Amino acid sequence: MISLLNSSKGKFMVNNVYVAGLGCISALGCGVGKQIESLVSGESGIVPLTLFETMHEVVAGEVALSNTELSEMLGLSPGKEYSRTTLLGLTAAKEALEDSGLNPSEHRIGLISATSVGGMDVSEQFYREYLPDNRRGRLRQLIGHDCGASTQFIYDHLGLNSFCTTINTACSSANNAIMLGTRMIKAGMLDAVIAGGTDALCRFTVNGFSSLGILDSKNCRPFDATREGLNLGEGAGYLLLVSEKIMSVKRYSRVAGYSNANDAFHQTASSASGEGAYMAMSGAIEMSNIDKCDIGYINVHGTGTPNNDSSEAIAMKRLFGDKIPPYSSTKGFTGHTLGAAGGIESLFTVLSVYGGYIWPNLNFSEMMDECDVPPQTTLKRGVHIRSAMTNSFGFGGNCTTLIFDKV
Question: How many whole angstroms separate alpha carbon 80 and alpha carbon 76?
Answer: 8
Q: Are residues 366 and 269 in the same domain?
A: yes
Average pLDDT over residues 221-234: 97
Q: Are residues 269 and 237 in the same domain?
A: no
**Continuous segment of H or E residues that includes residue 389:** strand 387-394
Question: Of the given ranges (47-61, 223-237, 259-273, 376-390), which has the lowest mean pLDDT?
Answer: 259-273
Average pLDDT over residues 174-190: 98
> What is the per-residue pLDDT for 3?
36
* Domain extent for 365: 256-405
Split at pLDDT 50, 70, 90, the class of 119 is confident
| pLDDT score of 354 more than 60 | yes
Specify if 6 maps to a domain: no
Q: Are residues 273 and 235 in the same domain?
A: no
Handedness of CA 309, 314, 317, 320 (dihedral sign): negative
Q: Are residues 313 and 197 in the same domain?
A: no
Q: What share of the chain is helix, strand, coil (3-state, %, to 5)?
A: 35, 20, 45
Question: Of the given ranges (106-120, 141-155, 179-193, 302-316), which has the lowest mean pLDDT?
Answer: 141-155
Categorise residue 335: left if φ over 0, alpha if ψ from -120 to 50, beta otherwise.
Answer: left
Contact present, 188 and 13 (Cβ < 8 Å): yes
Q: Are residues 133 and 176 in the same domain?
A: yes
Q: Are residues 148 and 265 in the same domain?
A: no
> What is the per-residue pLDDT for 257?
98
> What is the per-residue pLDDT for 268?
66
Q: Are residues 229 and 309 in the same domain?
A: no
Categorise residue 290: left if φ over 0, alpha if ψ from -120 to 50, beta otherwise.
Answer: beta
> What is the per-residue pLDDT for 8?
36
Q: Are residues 203 and 340 in the same domain?
A: no
Q: What angle do CA 395, 35, 99 make, to 5 degrees?
A: 100
Specify if 307 maps to a domain: yes
Average pLDDT over residues 324-345: 98
Q: What angle do CA 316, 319, 324 make, to 5 degrees?
A: 55
- One-letter amino acid of 261: A
| pLDDT score of 99 more than 90 | yes
Handedness of CA 317, 320, 326, 327 (dihedral sign): negative
Question: How many whole angstroms separate alpha carbon 281 and alpha carbon 345?
Answer: 16
The DSSP string of 151-190 is HHHHHHHTT--SEEEEE-BTBTHHHHHHHHHHHHHHTTS-
Going by C-alpha positions, the residue among 50, 48, 56, 29 that lies closest to residue 40 is: 29
Boundary-marking domain end, from 190, 220, 243: 243
Specify if 3 maps to a domain: no
- One-letter amino acid of 13: M
Specify if 347 maps to a domain: yes
Boundary-marking domain end, from 197, 213, 243: 243
Return the bridge partners of 192, or none.
109, 242
Specify if 398 maps to a domain: yes
Q: Are strands 387-394 and 59-61 parallel, antiparallel or unpaired?
A: unpaired
Going by C-alpha positions, the residue among 167, 217, 190 that lies closest to residue 54 is: 217
- One-letter amino acid of 280: A
Specify if 401 maps to a domain: yes
| pLDDT score of 103 more than 90 | yes
Boundary-marking domain end, from 211, 243, 275: 243
Specify if 249 maps to a domain: no
Q: Are residues 87 and 233 in the same domain?
A: yes
Return the bridge partners of 393, or none.
399
| pLDDT score of 130 more than 80 | no
> Strand locations in 207-291, DSSP E?
232-233, 235-243, 253-262
Q: Are residues 235 and 371 in the same domain?
A: no
Count of the separate structural domains present in the chain: 2
Specify if 5 maps to a domain: no
Quote the mean pLDDT of the chain.
Answer: 92
Q: Are residues 238 and 260 in the same domain?
A: no
> What is the per-residue pLDDT for 12?
56
Average pLDDT over residues 225-230: 97
What is the CATH number for 164? 3.40.47.10
Q: Are residues 184 and 318 in the same domain?
A: no
Across 75-79, 340-344, 397-401, the highest mean pLDDT is recorded for 340-344
